[in-house]
Structure 1
Amino acid sequence: MDKHNAWKSFAWESRIAYFSMEIGLSGQIPTYSGGLGVLAGDTIKSAADLKVPMVAVTLLHRKGYFRQQIDSDGWQHEYPVQWNPERLLELLPVKTLVTIEGRDVKIQPWLYRVKSPAGGVVPVIFLDTDIPGNTEADRRLTDTLYGGDSEYRLKQEIVLGIGGARMLAALNFTVRKYHMNEGHAALLTLELLNNIRAPIENTLNERASWDVQQVMDRCVFTTHTPVAAGHDKFPWPVVEKILPEIVPFALLRDLIGKDSLNMTILALKLSRYVNGVAKKHGEISQSMFPGFEIHAITNGIHPFTWASPFFVQLYDRHLPGWAFEPELLVRVDTISDEDFWDAHQGAKAFLTLFIEETTGKKFDPEILTIGFARRYATYKRADLIFSDLQRLVDIGNGKLQLVFAGKSHPHDAPGKELIHRIHEGIHSLSGKIEVVFLQNYNMDVAYRLIPGVDLWLNTPKRPLEASGTSGMKAALNGVPNFSILDGWWIEGHIEDVTGWAIGPPPREKSLAENGSDQEDARDLYDKLEKKIIPRYYEDRAGWIRVMKNAVSKNAYYFNTHVMMRRYVTEAYIR
């Protein structure tokens, strides 16, 4: 089969179509911003490992999310990411059209193959509007992830949802189920409604001619956030200006509400299976959207992608097959403490060398090193550990090192202010506690940072952390978590065994925040002083026991192999 037709080999088998606005497959393909995109990439890799018949659809994002640069005063600046899709992707000889503001907009597909050593392959289709014949504004529609205003976002979601569904049809894919990873792709349900409209003529009931039940049977929806800003809403006047009326707007208003086009509600209304991304998040989502049945499938991480090279070698030697059967990690106790610690120290040396190369600061490999890397949204409270700098110095002078990383959305002024405050704290602690901020956090930086610290810190306001997969990446590399009891950590935490909790336990099925900043900070300092620092310096065998428990009691379960098996059995083959 010649190169231009090789993609057709994917179309013979009925597939799960996985739609995501962002997908993080590698640092060389910068079409992701953070956790949602990296989860999508890990999901696709596990589908390839498990030979789940899947095709993924996303946008090309020629300018990526952004490249972060921090100035001398601690303020974030954003620059386009320069990358060349032609080097990594294959342009396919097919095009399709969508209508935006009454104009035809052409879309072309690029193909990337995610290949597993186990033999599975998942095609990823990247949608691109940078095509001669489109207006200049339309050519820029797929350039920037989460860029522009709400109108730009709606246009992107037309390309992803409607354009993506049409592109799969143009490429002759047979789709068994459509899985929407967040509400960004929800407009694909309108394309499905239009395509399978019931052949009812002369009906007095407009809605009866649209086969909602059949669309529901074909759709799966995963909601990822309990934060209101994470649910896209578009005013109807904007919708009627931009969106083609492939389904009557009157019907849409009747179906999802007269106030706005809420993409989450649209996906909820037209999906038979809906899930949150942790047990607690499933409860919160059920509270947010009463009347819908919302399940919970806890997120995971792709084991082989996120194990440091030192732990890959360790696991290969002692637990052969672990990458495809991560349940084998329960046997980590068969590895000697000396070998396990040596692997961790290798990962730590890898990080300290990277810190010195990028910041000029030399970290001491013998000092307890805490890592924090998140999107800098205010609810994640990146500066909680800086709440009382004097107490932090009293506890940690000569005993602690801190590494921060992460980006704030370009339009999030409070998030940028949070990064600025972190840099002010770094300046205040100079000469007392070594602290660095690693710029331009991405998959490559995460691969060095997460395995190389001794303790992974997470301090969100409850109950706003949907899952928190970075903590799972830490656990895979024997790094214990020190976290607020929210998201996945409610399920993974055993105090003094897999790590440590910060603050009070979560309230049952509650949307209310619990635990004040002051209460959480006090508990953070108390446990650092009385539990964590003494265990690290005075009981190395006890510390290694916690590290191994993080692997055998967390990493063996919180991975995308386990997650994908649940999607297959609970969502895809129903």
Structure 2
Amino acid sequence: MAFTFSFYQPAAEYSTAAAYFSMEFALDQALKTYSGGLGFLAGSHMRSAYELRQNLVGIGILWSDGYYDQTRNEDQTMRVDYRHKAYSFLQDTGLVFPITIHGAEVKVKALYLAPEVFGTAPMFFLTTDIPENDYISRTITHRLYDADQAARVAQSMVLGTGGGTLLDLLGHQVDVYHLNEGHGLPLAFYLYEKHGRQLAEVQKRLVFTTHTPELAGNEEQPMKLLEDMTFFGKFSGSEVRQLVGVEHDRLNYTLTALRMARIANGVSRVHGDVANQMWGANPGICPITYITNSQNGTYWRDAKLHEALGANDDAALRQRKRELKKELFDIVADQTGNIFDPEVLTIVWARRFAGYKRADLILRHFERFVQLISNTERPVQVIWAGKPYPKDYGAIGMFNDIIQKTRSFKNCAVLTGYELALSAALKKGSDIWLNTPRFPREASGTSGMTAAMNGCVSLSIADGWIPEFVREGENSFLIPLANINEPEHVKDDLEATGILDVLEQEILPVYYGQPERFLEIQKNAMRDVEPTFESGRMAQEYYQKLYNA
């Protein structure tokens, strides 16, 4: 008997049937299928699709080892650990089917996540880690973003080719296939074969979201490797070159997706402009619009904080924020032994660790930083958290360097285990959300949205979503931008100075000298972030601008 999956009755305005392909989804702390912002975004999208009753199915990969477990060595520095996970809440569909990888048959198993489990669109997770496969084939879906080049290519094939095959085996009618980033690109070649090798037929059905201007997020692979891996299915390299154009004998996933999709989007207004600048001169690409990333309020906002906001009960709002700070500080004490004070201004830098995000920028002028955190009249507490890519030794070195530089200060802490639960605790329990990317390299940067939902005020570079949100001094604070043409070390010096200037001259005087005004800024942030940066708006825009366009 064929597997049939439960599906809520879609709302009439979402009659177009869409399938959303993403390498990672952050749906719940219990399901380790994400690394950072891309997964957080995809998880919020699936939650809002459920709330709006959209006709949407999610396709992802079940990572046996997750991304990795971030723990500590004896000297408190970061350690990467892996362990297999098991999930009883995923339903075995009984579907096991072959796809071809490197000219050999690899079996793919599909598991189902019903909407009612976590309040998401119906979702399928694919795995090759089953007894029907040899050991190497089983490892394809062990680790998200495996460092091995061939494994990364195979993972894209499981997502794209495997996901397309699964939907056909299910007999599920799909009008629009949505590639959330280029990882699932083999889907485009699967559709090309399915629809009579007519590119126009693929373009009718395929839409694409590009999430970053960073090279690592716009994957390229040698054509020979992709041909050897059977990345293109039944098509030879010469056929692919003729179909999409290939420069320097390397295939760029983003550029290829832009040539095979009907329409694409960047993930903020700034990023839409940057994406058009990056790719617009290439012939044959589809139009690139923008749909600003957003996050799901139902999941992220603290209900009691918003109840106090709605009732205009300042005393209750202050009390609840103090309780949330104490909950966060219990985690700080448990991990580091430092006892933080809920009356003290608390700054958090927390997100995926990557060099361009500059987690250590506030430490650049170190003597001045020490003066800032040593001031007993206007005290400050600072927390860092985030997961580097496990083979990004530069980012891991930065993480460990921050530990070494701040470990003697009882009002500084570096936390490990940055997943959904810790992320929520940090956003609910902090006062200032520090965001320091190199402009214009942060495509969206959604962490500040969920911080704002919980009365945490952004201190940020004006990149990604921030220019669409900011009312400087009223709902957030801006770090002055250096001239974009300056050398990077000069920009870092100037912007590091800007962080400390704004803290010392604007934020600290308001927090300690004008608490009513600071509370008003917090309330403005909570009000202004929704509904514009709540993912219901984003999920609706995907239907309006991409699926129904």
| C-alpha distance in structure 1 between counterparts of 2:6 and 2:483, whole Å | 50
Is the Cα contact below 8 Å between 1:492 and 1:554 reproduced in 2?
Answer: yes
- CA deviation map 1:375-405 (0-9, x unaligned): 2111111001111222123233231001110
Say if 1:256 and 1:262, in contact at 8 Å, map to a contact too: no
Match of 2:203 among 188, 212, 216: 216
The partner residue of 1:346 within 323, 346, 350 is 323
Per-residue CA shift, 1:22-78, capped at 9, x if unaligned?
111111100100110111111000000000011000111011000012324453221
CA gap of 1:147–1:116, structure 2 versus 1, over 3 A, is closer
- Corresponding residue number in structure 2 for 1:23: 25
Out of 348-357 and 134-143, give the one that drifted further.
348-357
Deviations 1:159-203 (A, max 9, x none): 110111001111111101001110001110100000011xxxxxx
Which residue in the other structure is 1:313 paired with? 304
Aligned counterpart for 1:561 among listed residues 525, 536, 544: 536
- Structure 1 residues 400-409 or 255-264, which shifts more? 255-264
Bigger drift between 474-483 and 4-13 goes to: 4-13
Match of 2:448 among 457, 471, 474: 471
Contact 1:234–1:262 (CA under 8 A) maintained in structure 2: yes
Question: Are 2:269 and 1:282 aligned?
Answer: no
Distance between the aligned counterparts of 1:155 and 1:354, measured in 2? 38
CA contact (8 A) 1:406 1:441 kept: yes
What letter matches 1:158 in structure 2?
A: M
Paired residue for 1:263, among 231, 253, 257?
Answer: 253
Per the alignment, do residues 9 and 419 of structure 1 end up closer, same or farther by CA in structure 2, a change over 3 Å counting? closer
Relative distance call for 1:252 and 1:484 in structure 2 (3 A) is same
**Compared CA separation, residues 353 and 189, structure 1 to 2 (3 A):** same
Q: Aligned equivalents of 2:534 and 2:159: distance in 1?
A: 27
- CA shift, 1:155, in A, is 0.6
Partner amino acid for 1:413? Answer: Y
Give the drift of 1:116. 8.8
- Secondary structure at the counterpart of residue 340 of structure 2: coil
- Tell me the CA shift for residue 9 of structure 1: 5.3
Question: Which amino acid counterpart does residue 218 of structure 2 have in structure 1?
Answer: H
Deviations 1:320-371 (A, max 9, x none): xxxxxxxxxxxx4751222221221121111112222232221011110001
> Percent identity at matched positions?
33
Q: What does residue 236 of structure 1 align with?
A: 223
1:396 aligns with 2:373: yes
Letter in 1 for 2:35: S
1:336 and 1:116 map into 2 onto residues whose CA distance is: 34
What does residue range 26-425 of structure 1 map to in structure 2 within 5 Å?
A: 26-73=28-75, 75-85=77-87, 87-115=88-116, 122-197=121-196, 210-243=197-230, 245-254=233-242, 255-258=244-247, 259-291=249-281, 292=285, 293-308=287-302, 312-315=303-306, 317=307, 332=309, 335-397=312-374, 398=376, 399-425=379-405
Residue 60 of structure 2 aligns to a residue whose secondary structure is: strand
Structure 1 counterpart of 2:133, which letter? N
Query: CA distance change for structure 1 residues 506 and 182 in 2, over 3 Å: closer, same or farther?
Result: farther
Q: CA deviation at 1:10?
A: 7.3
- The structure-2 alpha-carbon separation of the partners of 1:238 and 1:185, relative to structure 1 and needing over 3 Å to count, comes to same
Equivalenced residue count is 535
- For the Cα contact (< 8 Å) 1:337–1:541, is it kept in 2? no
What letter is aligned with 1:499? S
Cα distance between partner residues in 2 of 1:278 and 1:547: 23
Task: Report the residue type matching 1:61 in the other structure.
Answer: W
Query: Measured at CA, do residues 272 and 374 of structure 1 come closer, stay the same or move farther in structure 2, by a change above 3 Å?
Result: same
In 1, are the aligned partners of 2:7 and 2:122 still within 8 Å (CA)?
no
Range with greater deviation from structure 2 (391-400 or 122-131): 391-400
Amino acid corresponding to residue 324 of structure 2 in structure 1: A
Query: Do the aligned residues in 2 keep the contact of 1:30 with 1:81 (CA within 8 Å)?
Result: no
Whole-Å Cα distance in 2 between the matches of residues 11 and 535 of structure 1?
Answer: 50
1:439 aligns with 2:383: no
* Cα deviation, residue 121, structure 1: 5.8
Equivalence for 1:527: 502
AA aligned to 1:103 is: A
Deviations 1:403-444 (A, max 9, x none): 1101111111111111121112213xx24x611111111011
Quick check: 188-197 or 229-238, which moved more?
Answer: 229-238
State the secondary structure of the residue aligned to 1:537: helix
Q: 1:512 to 1:15 in 2, by over 3 A?
A: farther
How many angstroms apart in 1 are the aligned matches of 2:465 and 2:364?
A: 25
User: What's the TM-score, normalizing by structure 1?
Assistant: 0.89
Offset of residue 8 of structure 1: 6.0
What stretches of structure 1 move > 4 A for 4+ residues in a row?
8-14, 510-515
- Which residue of 1 is the match for residue 5 of structure 2? 7
Q: Which residue type is aligned with residue 44 of structure 1?
A: M
Contact between 1:95 and 1:106, CA under 8 Å: does it hold in 2?
A: yes
Instruction: Tell me the SS of whatever aligns to 1:7.
Output: coil
SS at match of 2:384: strand
Report if aligned partners of 1:498, 1:554 keep a CA contact under 8 Å in 2. no
Q: CA RMSD in A?
A: 2.2
Deviation at 1:504, TM superposition (A): 2.1
Whole-angstrom distance in 2 between the partners of 1:565 and 1:514: 41
CA distance in 2, matches of 1:290, 1:515: 30
Greater alpha carbon shift after TM alignment, 333-342 vs 282-291: 333-342
Structure 1 CA distance, aligned partners of 2:76 and 2:492?
A: 23
- State the 1:140 CA deviation: 1.4
Letter of the 1:567 counterpart: Y
